[in-house]
């Protein structure tokens, strides 16, 4: 999915850095990612994804240590602002594998780029490969 699909979703949002009153001044309040994962809006969103996925890992069907994975990141979006199709229930093991391969692909493509292969060619090559499995 292209990131642009997320933009409408983000625009009507009241959660970007907020101005909070303090001692008669306003200061910019920015949540850390850790704060965001404790936010009530994420807790609700996370639960709705777990429910949608039947409280099972969508990869291996495990019911242990379930986590909600963001399949892709939208720049500037808070974790709860993602459309549901960006989110998937994975167990801790499948989640760490998924993150590992995501990072590995980025590092691999960067290493090819350093060898002088343009990203355009890396992209075209990846597009030609048949991808199996729909989650």
Contacting residues toward Zn ion, per CB under 5 A: 57, 59-60, 62, 91, 94
Q: Which residue has the tokens 């625009």?
A: 11
Shorter beta-carbon distance to Zn ion: residue 74 or 94 = 94
Output the smallest distance, CB 16 to Zn ion, in A.
33
Residue 125 backbone phi and psi in degrees, to 5: -65, -45
Tokens at 41, concatenated: 């809006």
Output the smallest distance, CB 90 to Zn ion, in A.
6
Shorter beta-carbon distance to Zn ion: residue 49 or 94 = 94
Residue 70 near residue 82 (C-beta atoms within 8 A): yes
Output the smallest distance, CB 61 to Zn ion, in A.
7
Shorter beta-carbon distance to Zn ion: residue 5 or 135 = 135
Q: For residue 107, what are the contacts with CB-CB under 8 A and spacing of at least 6?
A: none
């Amino acid at each position: 999915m292209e990131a642009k699909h997320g933009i409408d979703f983000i625009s009507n949002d009241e959660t970007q850095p907020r101005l909070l009153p303090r001692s008669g001044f306003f200061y910019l309040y920015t949540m850390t990612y850790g704060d965001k994962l404790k936010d009530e809006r994420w807790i609700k969103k996370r639960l709705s994804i777990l429910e949608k996925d039947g409280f099972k890992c969508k990869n291996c069907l495990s019911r242990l240590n379930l986590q909600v994975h963001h399949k892709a990141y939208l720049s500037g979006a808070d974790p709860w602002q993602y459309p549901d199709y960006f989110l998937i229930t994975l167990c801790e093991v499948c989640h760490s594998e998924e993150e590992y391969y995501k990072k590995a692909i980025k590092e691999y493509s960067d290493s090819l780029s350093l060898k002088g292969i343009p990203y355009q060619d890396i992209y075209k090559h990846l597009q030609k490969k048949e991808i199996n499995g729909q989650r």
